[in-house]
Structure 1
Amino acid sequence: MTKLGPAHLGRRFAALLIDWALCLVIASFYADPRVIAWPPVVLLILFNALFIGPFGQTPGMALARLRCVSAADGGAIGVLMGLVRGVLLALLVPAVIMDDNRRGLHDRAAGSIVVSLPPRGR
């Protein structure tokens, strides 16, 4: 298996935008996000816990060819650490404070790293 490198910020941002748009659409079925702001935020946190925790990808990450894995062993981070990562991501500030490996405080707290996947077909 080839070593996967840290994901570029543009792809990470694109994945986040896709996930955010999906959260807005889903939340609009039961609340107006223009009036009540918290439902899409809760959905984004749940996306991190339920998609990244066991599977390593949100729908946006899958489209952007990214995966969030354990920085220690490359495996899944689990639902609890996905939840921690999601809560800190929702706060935004921890996500923009990054180290040399493009790991935000939310990634460091969850023990995760977002990596770029190779192009399909390889």
Structure 2
Amino acid sequence: MSARTTELPTGSFGRRFVAYLVDAVLCALVAGLFTYPDPPGGWSTPVFLVAYTGFVGLFGESPGLRLLGLRVEGVADGRPIGLGRALLRTLLIIIVIPVLVPSGDGRRYHDKVVGSIVTRRR
């Protein structure tokens, strides 16, 4: 566990979950624009993949994370994690299981794999 991960205020599971729900609903609405009048069905997932990867990779926060006062940053430098690591992190979120597995330092497995941490915005 790095010193940086112990000194940062991490986002609680509840806040992170609500942020995810906000992002999922927004992505479903966007996907619905393309499938109207039919429901978006499975189109919400690729929209989520692209949007969440882009927002988190480039800016360190998605609309849901921003609304809940959270930020995804690299453990080593505190900067946005970039598109490659954000893509892997998003894919792990989509398969759900890593999101539910905590590590010893308060991060979830998908954050540990890509070297990121979800912090409360300062």
Q: TM > 0.5 between the two?
A: yes
Match of 1:14 among 15, 18, 21: 18
CA distance, structure 2, for counterparts of residue 40 and residue 54 of structure 1: 21
Residue 49 of structure 2: aligned partner: 45
Extract unaligned runs of 5+ from structure 2.
1-6
**Structure 2 counterpart of 1:85, from 74, 82, 89:** 89
CA deviation after TM superposition for structure 1 residue 29, in Å: 1.2
- Percent sequence identity over aligned pairs: 33
Gaps of 5+ in 1: none
Question: Matched residues in 2 for 1:43 and 1:87: separation?
Answer: 12
Q: CA RMSD in A?
A: 1.3
Preserved contact between residue 48 and residue 85 of structure 1 (Cα < 8 Å): no
Partners of 2:20 and 2:110 in 1: how far apart? Answer: 14
Q: Distance in 1 between matches of 2:118 and 2:105?
A: 9
> How far is 1:4 from its partner?
3.2
Q: What TM-score, normalized to structure 1?
A: 0.85
Q: What's the offset of the Cα at 1:47?
A: 2.3
Structure (1/2) with the larger helix percentage: 2
